[in-house]
Amino acid sequence: MPATERVVELLKAAAEAAHDKKAENVLAFDVSEQLAITDAFLVASASNDRQVRAIVDAIEEKLRVDFDAKPVRREGAREGRWVLLDYLEVVIHVQHDEERNFYSLERLWRDCPLIPIPGPDGKIPEPAPVQPRSGEEDVPALGSDEASVADDAAAAEAGSLEADAQVAAPSAPAE
């Protein structure tokens, strides 16, 4: 099921807040067909740790004020290299440029449709090409064996998010 209207509104508001703090290469992916735990990812990057934290703070403030939305989980804010904000239906990744290039979430989720998010100029940006990791050449389309490795990586990330969500959720007392 494609991302809902509310999800798209949250993504647009988060992207607007990120752009206000000069975030770069802001992209949104509809992952609802691949993951049961969330509908969309928003990915943004910045050139330094302080800017990463400023973008995260602006996004949290915007979503709290406009949508009364608070993240159920916030990770990585102290280091400011890769901050994850989990709003359940939307997961926001704000990464330092180096982490963005190294982990290349665009490569991992390239089979998911992009959700058009206007840039600061109001135009829908084209995604920047994914930079190959150092020592790698640009990776061609995945073959069946390679696709299973990418699927395993996606499943591992999804499992990690599900496990973290279970830890964060209150449980009934044991009898």
Q: Would you list the domain boundaries of the chain?
A: 5-109
Which pLDDT band, with edges at 50, 70 and 90, does 122 fall under? confident
Contact call for residues 45 and 23 (beta carbons, < 8 A): yes
Query: What average pLDDT score do residues 104-125 get?
Result: 88
Q: What is the percent of the chain with per-residue pLDDT over 90, rounded to a whole number?
A: 61
The identity of residue 153, as a single letter, is A
CATH of domain 5-109: 3.30.460.10
Q: What's the pLDDT score for residue 12?
A: 96
Query: What average pLDDT score do residues 59-71 get?
Result: 98
Q: What is the mean pLDDT of the chain?
A: 82
Which carries the bigger pLDDT value, residue 70 or residue 123?
Answer: 70
At what angle are helices 5-20 and 49-67 packed, to 10 degrees? 140
